[in-house]
Amino acid sequence: MRRLISCLFLLCLLIFPFFLERSFSQYAIRAPFITDCSPLPNQITEIALSQSYRYLSSGKQSFAFVSEDGQWVIKFFKRKYFQIPLLSHLFLQEFSKKNERLKFYRQSYLLAEKELQDETALLYLHLGPSDNLPTLTFKDPIGISHSIDLNHYPFVVQRKAEPFYPLLSTSLAEWGIEQYLGLVAKRIQKGIADWDHEIEDNFGICEGKLIQLDPGRLYLEERFHEQKRLDKEWWSATHRLRKWLEENEPDKVAFFDQTLANHKLSCAQGIEDDSDIDDFLQHRP
């Protein structure tokens, strides 16, 4: 009987985190720190973190909350997304998947901050412990208020952006296509690959520019000098957008194809296009 009780207790310990993390909780965002400490926040970051937040969305990797003034998004990383299960060594595929996620988590946002800060509108990375941040108050997906000491949680703060795809059905569609392909060219020029092929939810419009909202699967690629590898990266980054245009805005496909060819050439020559909406409108025929 005692052995049965012990087994049931152990089973509860294994199962409880699973049920706890199916929805938002403070436990669910206790992802591991990956740096020894975090930098001091600048004045803009202090303003962003002095506000209350409300639930915005949830992805595979994080929970997102938007600030009271609507200008900032704070993302808390999901513990379960990175946590390697206790018995994962018995399931090689699951272990490899979690290990790969940890690898991206340890390098991707740091790489984005260093090389693509403007293109991702990242304000602040808190990926290590600190002792100078305030307590943040926010409402979870069902409206329950939480107050947490930010010093003990990994998170990132980023500019709030508007959805990208709706713009492709407006008079600014060609500008949006130019912006997106220009971002891809810039990233490739810097020798950075993106494992994530998603576009619709990963990019948005912020302050007259297109930005990458989710830089969570970036990595340095040393083989872009190989034409086959370079072609694969361009295909990975563009095939979903082209398919969407074929199905929803077929009259834009020819423009997309020509612009893609131009950006491939510009990328190879080291030329970047940094025009914003105003520039596009001024030079548009």
Distance, CA of 203 to CA of 183 (rounded, Å):
10
Distance, CA of 244 to CA of 247 (rounded, Å):
5
**Contacts of 233 by beta carbon, 8 Å cutoff, 6+ apart:** 188, 193, 194, 221, 224
- Residue 131, pLDDT > 60, answer yes
Q: What is the pLDDT of residues 269-284, one digit of tens each?
A: 664 444 555 554 555 4
Closest CA to 160 of 105, 123, 115: 123
For the chain, the domains span: 24-159, 162-283
Q: Does domain 162-283 have CATH number 2.40.50?
A: no
Poorest-confidence range of 10-24, 94-108, 239-253? 10-24
* Confidence at residue 110, expressed as pLDDT on a 0 to 100 scale: 95
Tell me the pTM.
0.82
Q: What is the pLDDT of residues 19-36, one digit of tens each?
A: 444 468 888 899 999 999
| Buried/exposed 16-34: b ≥16 CB within 10 Å, e otherwise | ebeeebeebeeebbbbebb
Distance, CA of 64 to CA of 29 (rounded, Å):
11
Name the band, by pLDDT with cuts 50, 70 and 90, for residue 285. Answer: very low
Average pLDDT over residues 260-270: 83
- Three-state secondary structure readout of the chain: CHHHHHHHHHHHHHHHHHHHCCCCCCHHHCCCCCCCCCCCCCHHHHHHHCCCEEEEEECCCEEEEEECCCCEEEEEECHHHHCCCCCHHHCHHHHHHHHHHHHHHHHHHHHHHHHCHHHHCEEEEECCCCCCCCEEEEECCCCCEEEEEHHHCCEEEEECCEECHHHHHCCCHHHHHHHHHHHHHHHHHCCEEECCCCCCCCEEEECCEEEECCCCCEEECCCCCCHHHHHHHHHHHHHHHHHHHHHHCHHHHHHHHHHHHHHHHHHHHCCCCCCCHHHHHHHCC
Q: What is the pLDDT of residues 177-210, one digit of tens each?
A: 999 999 999 999 999 999 999 999 999 999 999 9
The token pair at 91 is: 């399931």
